[in-house]
Structure 1
């Protein structure tokens, strides 16, 4: 399959790149700084600014699917606006290129626990709330999308710990509720297995026009 990948130099995007190439897909990676990506078989790197829909359109034309792990940067003081601008540009560029299948890594903040989204809980960390709110608002916009055949994967909240972790190929699937462990603690997953779950959805055609979450 020919796949365009956005965010390949990031924490989650790098795992997605490994997973896609490991399964034999032809990957076009969009990057502002292509030199950050090493030369690899079946990988083409295209210089593109994902804040510009026309750049996205040009880069993804001809692929079977677009995968986005776009993140505007957790330390970016303008993260909310930049995240929304980038997410909208990626979606618009994908549509303009005539690519229907669009898979996105979202945020954990839009998952529900006890009837409330995590991002709205009083103890949600203030430092990441703007970015988490943007990810929640991006999901809301996707839910009214009528052209793209979209899928959004919300990771468990422990993914932010920054550990690459082991690739086991195993995971549980949930939908809108935060997955919990048997001891009552929030679920977790390695970023490698998060990538497995999203590429599984790509290959199997599952979770179309819906959000899902995963965890051990």
Structure 2
């Protein structure tokens, strides 16, 4: 499968890239700093910016599916990038996209009329990142794409446990953390299995 990957040098993105390469997928990754990636016969990397339409268009050329592990960077980089990704995917008739979001955009268990970041469940003082991810959720929901948003809670760098627990649209009860390894593995598996199209998926690693 030919995959367009965004955020390949980030903490989750590099784990996803490793899984894709081990699976012998063909990857085109758009990165700002190519020196952070190692050469691989199945990896093509383009230097550029996901906020630039032409760079995203080149990355998506010939792709079967898309994975975005882009972060918010405390700015509008995420929404700007995803707007281009959605537009070009629809133009090129690419249907499948898996993105990494945040547990803040999951439905609150205490108040189901709110998202977690809008409720007392959220302990974060800043809502900048959650609001950006919320906009992306609305954008994907309003698109014609087959999307899944993987929503980890506290995200420490950590290995794959394969014992993660998931729940559609809510964070599993008792969730404290989601390791980068487990988050990447679930995103990779979801791309292959297509079990949660049209859902936000909360994920937790064992404590």
Shared fold per TM-score greater than 0.5: yes
Which of the numbers 110, 121, 140 marks the counterpart of 1:142? 140
Residue 138 of structure 1 deviates from its aligned partner by 1.1
Check whether the contact 2:102–2:151 (CA below 8 A) recurs between aligned residues: yes
Residue 174 of structure 1 deviates from its aligned partner by 0.2
Check whether the contact 2:6–2:68 (CA below 8 A) recurs between aligned residues: yes
TM-score by length of 2: 0.89
Check whether the contact 1:173–1:212 (CA below 8 A) recurs between aligned residues: yes
- The separation in 1 between residues aligned to 2:33 and 2:159, in whole angstroms, is 28
Task: Name the counterpart of 1:95.
Answer: 90
Task: Name the counterpart of 2:189.
Answer: 200
Task: Name the counterpart of 1:114.
Answer: 110
Task: Say whether residues 1:83 and 2:82 are aligned partners.
Answer: no
Which of the numbers 201, 204, 207 marks the counterpart of 1:215? 204
Task: Say whether residues 1:9 and 2:4 are aligned partners.
Answer: no
- The separation in 1 between residues aligned to 2:171 and 2:197, in whole angstroms, is 20
3-state SS of the aligned residue for 1:113?
coil
Task: Name the counterpart of 2:149.
Answer: 152
Give aligned pairs, total. Answer: 201
- The separation in 1 between residues aligned to 2:66 and 2:36, in whole angstroms, is 20
What are the Cα deviations for residues 31-51 of structure 1, in whole angstroms up to 9, with x where unaligned?
122222121242111123211
Task: Name the counterpart of 1:175.
Answer: 168
Residue 198 of structure 1 deviates from its aligned partner by 0.9
Q: Structure 2 unaligned segments of length 5 or more: list them.
A: none
Residue 169 of structure 1 deviates from its aligned partner by 2.4
Q: Structure 1 unaligned segments of length 5 or more: list them.
A: none
Check whether the contact 1:178–1:187 (CA below 8 A) recurs between aligned residues: no
RMSD (Å) for aligned C-alpha atoms = 1.8
Check whether the contact 1:180–1:187 (CA below 8 A) recurs between aligned residues: no
Q: How does 1:17-28 map to 2 (within 5 A)?
A: 17-28=17-28
- The separation in 2 between residues aligned to 1:54 and 1:97, in whole angstroms, is 13
- The separation in 1 between residues aligned to 2:90 and 2:151, in whole angstroms, is 22
Residue 20 of structure 1 deviates from its aligned partner by 1.2
TM-score by length of 1: 0.85
